[in-house]
Each structure stands twice: as C-alpha cells, then as structure tokens.
A and B are shown apart, each in its own frame.
Chain A
Amino acid sequence: MSGAPLLTWILLVPLLAAIGVVLTRNRPNVRETVTVVAGIVLFLLVATLAATISWDQPPTLVLAEPVHGLALALTPEPLGMLFALVAGFLWPVTSVYAIGYMRAHHEQNQTRFYTAFAVSICAAMGIALAGNMLTLFVFYEILSVATYPLVTHAGNEQAKRAGRLYLGLLMGTSIGFMLLAMIWTWQLTGTLDFTPGGVFGNNVSSGVLSALLVLYVFGAGKAALMPFHRWLPAAMVAPTPVSALLHAVAVVKAGVFTILKVSVYLFGIDRIAELPVSSWLAALAGLTILLASFVAMTKDNLKARLAYSTISQLGYIVLGAMLGVTAGVIGGGMHIAMHAFGKITLFFCAGAILVAAHKTKVSELDGLGRRMPLTMLAFLIGALSIVGLPPFGGTWSKWLLVQGTLDAGFWVLTGVLMLSSLLNVMYLVSIPVRGFFRAPASQGDGIREAPTASLIAIAVTTTGCVLLFFWAEPLYRLAGGIVR
C-alpha cells in the first residue's frame, strides 16, 4: 500500500478505533486492546508512508471541496511527516500508559475517554498531513471540539470552568484571528495551498503581510503564546494521559506546527525575515519563554509547573519560526519531536506519582525517589533532555535554535535561550533531586512503584529521549527537508 490509500487509512484507523471502542464498551479488556492495536497499526502506517514517500511527488488525497477551488486535501510534506510520526508513535505508548493509570485511578466514563482520544488523534493526523490551510483549520477545530470532553472529564465545577476557558480561548482565537487571516489570504492570493517559498506575490504590501502574520500567530491559540496561554494550565484538570499526549504533544504541537507551517509555506522564510513584525513576535516568544519559566517556579502543583514549562518550551518553537532563518525553522521542527518525548515522560511520571503515591505537589515529593526509583530516574532524564543537556535528544534542537538566533543576529534572544536553560534546571531538575536526596516526610506509608503498564510506557519514552541524541540524523534530515 502506498500513496493516497495510505493517507486514507491513516485517517480511518483512529476513527475505526473510536467506533470499536464504543462497540466494545462493556468489555474493558477488549476495548483497551482495540485502542492499543489501532495505535500500533497507525504508527506502522505512518512509518510506511514516511519510508516510501517521494518528496518530489508526494501523494495527495482529496476528501471534498467545500469551497469552490479549495479542497479538503491531504498532502504530506517533511514537517508534517515529522509531526505525524511523533504523534503516531506516542499514541499507542500513551494508550498503554492510560490503561495502567485509568484503572489504578478508578476513573469514570472510560469509554468516552478512549473514544474522544481516538478522534483527537485522527484530527492530529489531519493537521499533520494537511495539504492546505483550510484542511489544517478544519482538523484544528475538530481537535478543539474532540478534546473538550477530555478536559472536562472529571465533570466537576473546576473541570467545567477549565473547559469553558479551553474552548473559549482556542475557538476564540481560531475563529476570530486564524479564520479571518485565512479568508484574507484566500482573497488576496486565490490559494491556500502550502507552497515552498510562500504564496504571497510581490504585490501584497508588507503592512498587510504583517497584519496577517500577527493574526496567524495569535490565531494558533494552541501554541499558547502569551497572552493567550491561560487555557493550557487550566486544561491540566484532565486525566494525566490527556495532559501527557494532548497537552504536551498533539494539541500544543498542533499550534506551533501551524505557526511553522504558515511561516514556511504561506509566507516563506525569506518573507518572514523581511517583515519587521516578525522580530516583535520573536521577542514576544522570548518574553513568553522567560515569563512562563518564572511562573513555573512559583507553582507547587506538579502538573501546573509542567504546564508552564510547556508554555515556555512552545515559545522556543514560535521563536524558531519567527527568526526567518533556516536553522531556526529546522530547530523548531526538531524541537516538536524532542520536547514531545521529554515532556510526555515528565507527565507520565507525574501521573505515576499521583496514582501510586497520591501526591500532586512538588513539596510533597521529598524522598520519593527511594520508593519510586524508576519513575524518578525517568523524570530526571526527561528534565535533562528538556534542559538540553547531552546525551539527550533536547540537545540538538536547542543547539539549532541557538544557532538560529545567532544567524539572525538576535543576541538578546540567544541570551534568553541560555537563561531559560538555567531556569529549567532550577524548576525541573530540582524535582528529582529533591526526590533522591531529601529525607522523606514520613516512613512506611506503603508507597510502591507505579502500575506496570505505566512503567512500560515511561521506559519507552525515556529510552526515546536517549536514542534521539544518538540517532538524531533521520529527524534532522526530515526537518531539513522543510527548507530544501
């Protein structure tokens, strides 16, 4: 199988999984098997696509043509392929983790949970492989709606409020800004196809382009660029697997992915470099990186701290996209993958700690490393990868981003990235250090390691963090294909 049928199946498999989950709702073991098997099949499909695709003549799948001359179509390109690979790989891993977590935590409505999860993955695949901006937007909105029941999973007042903020900010920015920018682009150029080098001719004034760029960047609310970041910490009320896969990988990466995609394929890197407004947006991204780091330091709640850390890391990618140099874009693209592995590990660990030790606060973790050594070790590795220290994957993307700031001549932003690494050490690495070196508050409370299923998942993503350091070459080549 290759080309268009492969694309069809990549969309269909998660949808079929959603249906399968609903049909097997009375038999939890079968239901979870459906999810995991579908996840593995999906990843194999995506990997096959990545292995067999010819970038000169990528396959195209046309789904429909809702606007005259503008089709809903999937056309893979390197950056999207990268995103699809990451999301496709981490879905089955997260599903395995979720089995352990959801059962140990006695969560209600698990069928709804797995169904919405599968639909979200389908939407993420659509975003990753979208051939034009309209298709991306359609799947982007489906992702917002499909993740809503996951955010409000607990169904209590806090979850309801979080859901309101979540949907309000994500839909508000996407309908208010992105849709407007998209229709404006269509009206100016008559195309929304992702085209290497951009779609705007020379007759579009730089004032209009600046306005459009601002609309696009803020319209991608999922990128959590300040001041539209509040939904992400709010969404942490969701069960941890959701925070892990969706709010560290699929949803937030869909946001920064959109920004990268718009910068490279609608504007063109050179055009971005010419626009004065892009420096301002890069500076705003730098500000987001620092401010979110400072907020993260003040958070005692582990998941809230991780959420602000994510906001800060997303700022890296936005910054990379706004630099207008190839190293920045490649670095941003690679950071999608590197940060995904690092942060999902951290969330997995946070969830494991919650399930096994019933602790949610950083200050309660003293000495936990002796009871849950594997979890804490994994947390340490994930944190180091996010800091950007070798031998972990995060090194490379950070390296490239720093190089990008130097190429673009933004010395200040180089400083911001360096400072941010230090801050990361302070608020992330300090957590496992606490766990290993401080004396526990109480003895003999019977805390044991997390459920096996969860530990397997943690092991996989942690190994990923290490492997991506030594085998970063394929990723680099894939990301490099963006600017070829």
Chain B
Amino acid sequence: MDLLDHLPVLVVIMPLMSAPLCVLFDRARPAWLVSMSASWLSFAAAVYLLIQVSRDGTISYRLGGWAPPWGIEYRIDLLGAYVLLIVTAIAALVMVFARRSLEKEIPADRIARVYAALLLVFAGLTGITATGDAFNVFVFLEISSLASYAVISMGRDRRALSAAFQYLVMGTIGATFILIGIGLLYMMTGTLNMLDLAARLPEVADTRTVRAGFAFLTVGIGLKLALFPLHLWLPNAYAYAPSAVTAFLSATATKVAVYALLRFMFGVFGAEFSLNKMPFDLILMVLGLAGILSASLVAVFQEDVKRMLAYSSVAQIGYMVLGISLASNTGVSAAILHVFNHALMKGALFLAVGALAYRIGAVTVSSIAGLGRRMPWTVAALVVGGLSLIGVPPTAGFVSKWYLVLGTLEQDLWPVALLVLIGSLLALAYVWKLVEAAYFAEPAADAAAVREAPLSMLIPVWALVIANLYFGVNTQVSVGVARQATDLLMGGGG
C-alpha cells in the first residue's frame, strides 16, 4: 500500500496541484469538477489518517526521504488528524454548495479562478496542519493568506476590495511577525523542525531572544486567529467575500490558526515556558473574555447578517482562547472540541446565509423578513445553527459550553463561568433577531417570488445541521478525540 503511506503529503498536494488545473481549464464546470474531486479525495484521506493515527499513533512522514531535522518532516498526530478532518470535511461540503452559489455571485469568466484560489487556501490550511516544520508553517500560512486575499476581493460588493486590502495589510503584518519569531528561534537553536525545537529550546529558554521570539509568534498567530483586539480585519472580510468563501474561511481558517497556536504553545515551547515563565495564560484569558463579550455585543447591533455572524465568530474564537488559557486538560480539550463544533455551526450558518443570498441577494435583517414561509428549510437550518451557537441542548454547541464551563469551575473561576454564560445569552439576543425577522416580520413586496434554495445547496447545509444535532448527542468521536489529543499535547496526564 505505497500510496497510502504518502497520505500525509497527498492531503496537501491534491488541492495544491488541482489549483493550477482549474486555471488551465478556465471554465466553471471543469474547474468545479476538479475542486470537487480534490476536496472529496482529501476528505477521504483525512478520514483514513484519523483512523490510522488513533490506531497506530503519530505518523511521521519524511518529505523526499530526507531524515529530520535536516529534511522537512510531515507529522500528523491525533490533533492534526482531527483538524485535518474538520478542514477537509468543510471543504468537501462547501464545494458541493459552491457551484450554484458562485454561478450567481461571480461573473462566469472568473469562476474558475475563484476555485483555484479556494483550492490554494485549502492546500495552505491542510499544509499548516500536516507539517512538522516551523518554516513550512510560515510558507503554508502565506499560501493560504495570499490566496484568501485574492478570493475575498472577488466578492460582488465593491467594498470587498477594501476589505481584502485591509486583511492584506493586517495579514502581512501577522505573517511578518511569525517569520521574525521563527527566525529568532532558528537563531538560537539552529533548527526548524518542531520536535527538534522543542528538545533544544529549554536550554536557551531563559534568554530575551527566545522570549521575543515567543512574543512575535503569538502576536502573529493572534492576528491570523482574529484574537481580540487583533480581529479588525475579520468582519469586513467575511461580510464581503463570496458566500461560499465566507463559509469555508469561517469554518476552517481561524480553526487552523488555533491549531497553530496550540502547536507552538504546547508542542514547541511547552506549557511550562508558555504559561509559567510567560504570563500568557492570563493575557489569553483576559483577551478571550473581552472578545466574547465585546464581539457578541457588537453582533447584536448588526444589520448585515454576514457581519453579525462574523462578529459572532470573533466571540467564538474568544471561547477557544479562553479554553486554552485555562491550561488544564478540560480547558484545552474544550477549546479543541469547540474548534470542531464551531466549524459545524458556523459552516451551517454561513452556508444557510449563502443559500438565502442565492435567492434574495444581500442578506440583512430586514431583507429576510417573512422568509420563514418562502424558504422553510433554509431558515430552519439557520435556527438550528443559531441554537447551537447559543449552546442550547441537544446541539453540539451545548457540549462545548459544558466542557468550557466545567473547565472554569474546576479552577474555581466561577465569575469567568458566569461571563461565558452571559456570552451565550448575548448570542441568544442576536440569533433571535434573525428568527423574529424571518418568521414574524411582514415580507417585502417582492418576496412572493422567492422560492426555496436549490437542492445542491440544501444538502450541504442540512448535512451540517444534522451534524450539529448528532454531535450534540453522540460525542464519542468529537469529545473522545479532543480529550486524547489534549493528553498527547499536554504530555500525558498533567
């Protein structure tokens, strides 16, 4: 089974190589077929990898046969396989959705290029997850970022251009910080392999250079993560990008950044350095809470639904960061679990919004008035996704909240637990604005012609909605893997 041994790299290479193919075809239909096959094959590969990793343990793959630390190592542990599964699953579903959505939102001659850029983003994200090499992380981060600037700018609203430019400026600053950080580490240790770095760093940990490297890296990742207050690029980028792109980015890009943060914090620097020598846990907790409360509050007052959900994403990132800041097994596994669950809920929500956009154009609180009757399935998906976002049982969001609150209570941080729950109630406020508009407001005069979204859009939406319900009840995979991955990451027990 030679080919299967190469899966760790194939999961990255398939989308990477398919991107130029799309450009070569330069027609919508073949480009879509290429993207579909690349993403579904990657998904299959990720499923296989997860099974393999949970059975046999971490996979180390030597790129080109060069032994680490000289060659580039691809290293897939349980956490990596878990994140890969999320990214590829969302990519596969979004590609199904994208055909009709992009046809509507993008001029026909540019569709193939959107697919190409989307595949590059996808390749970059899987690359960050699969690689075991710090510099490689930077390279893939740039691939995904540059491609996402391009693909955001293709949104049909002209403000997409300035949103993409804003993201470009902030994203480049972030990437530069990451590069500087990696450079400083390389200066002190002479290695770029993450495992090797982890082995060599403790000797030199007590130097200003390493501390500076740590600071640069975390701030850089924080920008990519849209960690409050570095989130300013996100709302506009999500609001003006094409619908399918927003769905994909919201469900994957920030998740991979969380992964990178975990990897560097616990895998490279080690919990001892990150949390004890540097006061990073406190910083993360404060920023996480500030993000949860402020972004949720801002979301309540948004008129544009995509912007509302974008602010909600900033808040949700706050939950993940808060979980990490607890630095306990429960806390970190709650963060990892929320990475998974948030991908499900935001994927479902943004896809549902994309389906609405397909029929009515701009999706605002007033433009969805009365659509509960015209597009019952789409709006119902919006409601279930919203309930999951609030954390109402039996949805996936509830399980996330449960573990996060449990993590805070374990450390007697009950005021923090209370703030988390207040965040949930703010989510109730903005989700319910949508529900009221969709079901109770008088429909606009031209709404009579609106029909339910096409089946090719409803299927991916509802696949995610059902996943939200399924993983709210059966958590064997989502919680089980998150816990095991945490144990591995935190060095067993702890």
- List A residues at the B interface (Cβ < 8 Å): 63-68, 72, 137-138, 141-142, 145, 149, 152, 155, 159-160, 163-164, 167-168, 171-172, 175-176, 179-180, 183-184, 186-187
Contacts and interface: CB of A to CB of B under 8 A. Distances in A.
Q: Which of A66, A72, A160 has the most CB of B within 10 A?
A: A66
A254 B429 CA distance: 24
B75 interface: no
B409 A183 contact: yes
30 contacts: A66-B393, A66-B394, A66-B402, A66-B472, A66-B475, A67-B403, A67-B475, A67-B479, A68-B475, A68-B480, A142-B394, A145-B387, A152-B439, A152-B440, A160-B436, A163-B436, A164-B432, A171-B425, A171-B428, A172-B425, A175-B421, A180-B414, A180-B418, A180-B421, A183-B405, A183-B406, A184-B409, A184-B414, A184-B417, A186-B406
Interface in B174-195: none
Contact of B391 (A159, A175, A187): A175
A67 B472 CA distance: 9
A155 B414 contact: no
Given A66-B399, A66-B473, A152-B440, A175 B417 contact: no
B399 A167 contact: no
Interface string B408-443: 011000100110011011001100100010011000
B401 interface: yes
Interface residues of B, number: 36
Given A172-B428, A180-B417, 8 more contacts: A68-B475, A155-B440, A167-B428, A175-B425, A176-B422, A176-B425, A179-B421, A184-B409
A226 to B, nearest CB: 20
B417 A164 contact: no
B392 interface: yes
Contacts of B405: 179-180, 183
Contacts of A63: 473
Contacts of A172: 425, 428
Contact of A183 (B402, B440, B472): B402
Contacts of B422: 176
Contacts of B393: 66, 137-138, 141-142
B406 A171 contact: no
Contacts of A171: 390, 392, 425, 428
Contacts of A175: 390-392, 421, 424-425, 428
B474 interface: yes
Interface in B422-481: 422, 424-425, 428-429, 432, 436, 439-440, 472-476, 479-480
Contacts of A65: 474-476
A186 B417 CA distance: 14
Contacts of A142: 393-394
B371 to A, nearest CB: 14
B414 to A, nearest CB: 7
A179 B440 CA distance: 29
Interface in B380-408: 387, 390-394, 398-399, 401-403, 405-406
Given A175-B425, A183-B409, A67 B387 contact: no
Contacts of A72: 394, 473
B425 A164 contact: no
Nearest to A67: B402
A357 B440 CA distance: 29
Contacts of B406: 183, 186-187
B423 to A, nearest CB: 10
Interface of B: 387, 390-394, 398-399, 401-403, 405-406, 409-410, 414, 417-418, 421-422, 424-425, 428-429, 432, 436, 439-440, 472-476, 479-480, 483
A169 B38 CA distance: 48
A168 B414 contact: no
B409 A167 contact: no
A221 to B, nearest CB: 12
A176 B418 contact: yes
4 nearest interchain CB pairs? A138-B393, A64-B473, A187-B409, A183-B405
B137 to A, nearest CB: 32
B124 to A, nearest CB: 34
A185 B332 CA distance: 21
A113 to B, nearest CB: 14
Contacts of B391: 175
A341 B421 CA distance: 37
Nearest to B471: A66
A187 B422 CA distance: 20
Contacts of A137: 393
Nearest to A171: B428
Contacts of B417: 180, 183-184
A328 B431 CA distance: 41
Contacts of B429: 168
Nearest to B396: A66
A149 B383 CA distance: 13
Nearest to B392: A141
A67 B418 CA distance: 20
A65 B477 CA distance: 12
Contacts of A67: 399, 402-403, 475, 479
Given A68-B479, A137-B393, A141-B392, A187 B425 contact: no
A141 B393 CA distance: 7
Nearest to B478: A66
A94 B401 CA distance: 37
Contacts of B418: 176, 180
Contacts of A184: 409, 414, 417
A176 B405 CA distance: 11
B467 to A, nearest CB: 14
A17 to B, nearest CB: 20
Contacts of B387: 145
Contacts of A168: 428-429
Contacts of A149: 439
Given A141-B393, A145-B392, A179 B401 contact: yes
B392 A167 contact: no
B466 to A, nearest CB: 15
A184 B406 CA distance: 7
Contacts of A155: 440
A155 B435 CA distance: 12
Nearest to A184: B409
A180 B436 CA distance: 28
A141 B394 CA distance: 9
B421 A176 contact: yes
Nearest to B383: A145
A164 B436 CA distance: 9
Nearest to A159: B440
Nearest to A183: B405
A171 B393 CA distance: 11
Contacts of B410: 187
A174 to B, nearest CB: 9
A151 to B, nearest CB: 12
B116 to A, nearest CB: 41
Contacts of A183: 402, 405-406, 409, 417
A65 B436 CA distance: 33
A186 B402 CA distance: 10
Contact of B474 (A64, A176, A179, A187): A64
A44 to B, nearest CB: 28
Nearest to A70: B402
B331 to A, nearest CB: 13
B401 to A, nearest CB: 7
A65 B417 CA distance: 23
Contacts of A167: 428, 432
A171 B418 CA distance: 14
Contacts of B399: 66-67
A163 B435 CA distance: 11
A128 B390 CA distance: 25
A176 to B, nearest CB: 5
A187 B432 CA distance: 31
Contacts of A159: 440
A138 B424 CA distance: 16
A149 B387 CA distance: 15
